[in-house]
Structure formats: structure tokens, C-alpha cells
Amino acid sequence: MNELKFEEALARLEEIVRSLEQGEAALDEALFLFEEGVKLARFCNTKLDEAEAKIEIMLEDGKIETLEVNEK
């Protein structure tokens, strides 16, 4: 799963959710899809956590400046 890109994992997770919501899968298939979905959700969450950590480091190092919004 490490070779999978975030966007691909998220798209597959969305497919699984739609499939399970339809409720047409046999029990064994539904359990398999649910297990795959849990793994994909954890994978996506890890990738998002990693991205957030990188952004925080760049902000702390001054490599990125936050944008200030002018209020009217």
C-alpha cells in the first residue's frame, strides 16, 4: 500500500463506501471491503498527518509565511 498515492487511496475508499452503502454485497464481500476501507482510511490519515507535520516544520523554520487576510 506504500506505493499507493493519497489520491488513489482516497478514490478507492470512496468506491468502497458507495458499495457498502448500497448494501448489495454478500456478507463475506462486505467484510472484505470494510477491512480494505479501514486500511485505506488509516493510510490516508497517516499521509495527512505527515503533510501537516511537514507544513508545521516549514512554518517554524520560516520557509513559509502565513498569509494575512485583510478584513473590511
- Predicted local distance difference test score (pLDDT) of residue 12: 98
Q: In the prediction, which pLDDT does 57 show?
A: 86
Give the distance from CA 43 to its chain's centroid: 7
Domains, the chain, ordered by start: 6-61 (1.10.287)
Residue 58 has what pLDDT?
A: 83
Q: What is the 3-state secondary structure (H, E, C) of 5-65?
A: CHHHHHHHHHHHHHHHHHCCCCHHHHHHHHHHHHHHHHHHHHHHHHHHHHHHHHHHHCCCC
pLDDT of 50 reads 95
Which cell numbers hold the place of 51? 503533510
d(CA 6, CA 47): 7
What's the confidence (pLDDT) of residue 60?
82
| The pLDDT value given to residue 65 | 67
Q: pLDDT value at position 20?
A: 96
Taking the chain (72 residues) in runs of 10, the rounded mean pLDDT of each run is: 90 97 95 98 97 88 67 52
pTM over 0.85: no
